[in-house]
Amino acid sequence: MTARPDVMMLPALVDPADPGVRALQAAIAAVRGAPAPEIHRRGTFDAGGLTRAGIPAAMFGCGGEGDWPAGDDFVAVSDVEDEARILATLILAKL
C-alpha cells in the first residue's frame, strides 16, 4: 500500500476581533439586524490555505438548503439578495 497526496482542507480559524471579521459582521448586522453566528465547520474550502499563509479569511455566503454535496441543493433568491446587500454595504463602508 502506498500513500499519495490528494484533496484536503486545511483548518481555518480567524479571530472574531479581526478588523475584516468585524467589518463583515457590521455589514451583516446593518442588513439583517444582527451579526451572523460564528460557526466552526469541518470543511474550510479555500479559507484554510489563506489562513495557513497568514491571511485572515472567513467563509461567508448564502446558507442554502438541501443535501450538499450529494446534489440536491439550492439557495433561496431572498438569501442571494441579502448577500448582495451585505457585500455592497461592506464594500461601501470600506471606501
What would the pLDDT profile of 26-72 be if each residue is shown by its tens digit? Answer: 999 999 999 998 877 766 677 888 888 888 888 888 776 666 566 66
Domain range list for the chain:
17-28+72-95
Letter string b/e over residues 8-29, b meaning 16 or more CB atoms within 10 A of that residue's CB:
eeeebebeeeeeebeebbebbe
DSSP state, residue 35: P
Nearest to 36 by CA among 92, 86, 91, 89: 86
What would the pLDDT profile of 65-92 be if each residue is shown by its tens digit? Answer: 666 566 667 788 888 999 999 999 999 9
Question: Other CB atoms closer than 10 Å to residue 75's CB: what's the count?
Answer: 14
